[in-house]
Amino acid sequence: MSETQVPNRFSIFHRGLAKGPAYEAWREGICRGFCRLDVGPTDDNRIDCHNEFTLLHTVAIATPRGGSARFARTRPLLNDGCDDLVLVFATRGTVQVTQGSKAIEITRGQMCLTEMNIVGTADLTQSGSFTTTRFPRRLLLQVAPSAETQLARTLGRDLALSAMIERYSALCTDLAGDLDLPGQQAAAHHLADLVGLVLGSSAEQKELVAWDGIAKARLELMKADVLKNLDNGKLTIEAIAKANALSTRQAQRLFASEGTTFSEFVLEQRLLMARRLLLHEQGSGRKVSDIAYTVGFNDLSYFHRSFRRRFGIAPAEMQMELRRRH
């Protein structure tokens, strides 16, 4: 069964025996509809799997959840000529991956690079889950020309980098529906740049660190952390930088690269959130002070001054206007 949300993000699931019309429809959707993979159970002839798919321009992210599904690139499927590279990222427990006759075991936070022109499998089980990101081979080789030397082996010794890749991949999935085509393309390239840091040689890694795509990805992750913590009136750039394995100075430079500062970004996002709450129908009965504190303002007079300066109207006046309209 499938659930369609937005054109570049959808989900499909099956729970039950690995036979019958429902299973075959799900299998067909996985195999020819998106993943170019066959799928069967890992044990007991039952499937328990909910797949979420995100398409970012030419990069595809798949997040299977559940306890029983084996995704297989079978020999008959190789006839489609796809030679994409796939990064398998273990998100829980231990995951078994095969490439040809080689078996690779990865644990939480570890990765394995596979290729679609070789038979292989990845197992979703009760004891291990994963995500996959499928890149056009050309895209990854542009970023890290030596990437093919890292095929079918355990990757991910740099825990901070692994965490960054996992978080940015999740961020891309969350925001996919709001991105236009140029935005999707930019996010796909930023993700490829991050993965290139894992796959590239030492010389390639040094070159990649200076690339704009890495900086953009790191900045987007910091922005996401800010948005998740707007209610924290004591939010500091030191805390955000530390959470992203950066120095305070590095974090300041990343915000400066967009012509702003950490404090300006936080203020802007708090004001925008306050306006959304004030204009929401349920916000018409809330006290302005309650909304100000909800979005992280500790000083009410500062909130009122900043709000009027930004929107040209006092918060209470905006709230009254909403009441008149309703």
pLDDT for 4 equals 44
> What one-character DSSP code corresponds to residue 63?
E
Helical segments of 135-236, H only: 137-143, 159-175, 181-199, 202-209, 212-228
Could you tell me if 199 and 58 lie in one domain? Answer: yes
User: Residue 51 in 3-state DSSP?
Assistant: strand
Q: Is residue 30 part of a domain?
A: yes
Same domain, 105 and 215: no
CATH of the domain at 30: 2.60.120.10
Q: Confirm whether 305 is domain-assigned.
A: yes
In a domain, 135, yes or no: yes
Rounded to the nearest 10°, the torsion over CA 252, 258, 264, 266 is -80
Reference 151, options 197, 192, 98, 204; nearest CA is 98
pTM (predicted TM-score): 0.84
DSSP letters for 146-158: TGGGGBTSEE---
Question: Is residue 278 a contact partner of residue 260, using CB atoms and an 8 Å limit?
Answer: no
User: Residue 64 in contact with residue 116, Cβ under 8 Å?
Assistant: no
Amino acid at 220: E
- The residue to which tokens 């000529």 are assigned: 81
In order along its 326 residues, the chain shows pLDDT tens digits of 544 445 678 888 899 999 999 999 888 877 777 789 999 999 789 999 999 999 999 999 999 999 999 999 999 999 999 999 999 999 999 999 999 999 999 999 999 999 999 999 999 999 999 999 999 999 999 989 999 999 999 998 888 889 999 999 999 988 887 888 888 999 999 999 999 989 977 666 666 665 667 888 889 999 999 999 999 989 999 999 998 888 999 999 999 998 999 999 999 999 999 999 988 766 567 889 999 999 999 999 999 999 999 999 999 888 887 666 66
Q: Across-strand partners of 10?
A: 4, 53
- 185: in domain: no
Domain carrying residue 309: 211-326
What does the pLDDT read at residue 116? 96
Instruction: Verify that 269 and 155 share a domain, yes or no.
Output: no
Give strand pairing partners of 38.
72
Backbone angles phi, psi at 228, to 5 degrees: -75, -15
Q: Same domain for 156 and 116?
A: yes
Q: How many domains does the chain have?
A: 2
Tell me the three state secondary structure of residue 3.
strand
- Residue 112 CA to residue 132 CA, distance in Å, equals 10
Does residue 72 form part of some domain? yes
Note whether 204 and 302 are same-domain residues.
Answer: no
Q: How far apart are CA 325 and CA 302, in angstroms?
A: 28
DSSP 281: G
Q: What are the beta bridge partners of residue 99?
A: 102, 120
Residues 172 and 74 in one domain: yes
Same domain, 88 and 34: yes
Do 121 and 158 fall within a single domain? yes
Residue 292 maps to a domain: yes
Is 19 among the domain residues? yes
Q: Are 200 and 274 found together in one domain?
A: no
Chain-centre distance for alpha carbon 292: 30
CATH code, domain carrying 311: 1.10.10.60
Are 18 and 30 in contact by the 8 Å Cβ rule? The answer is no
For the chain, give the number of residues.
Answer: 326
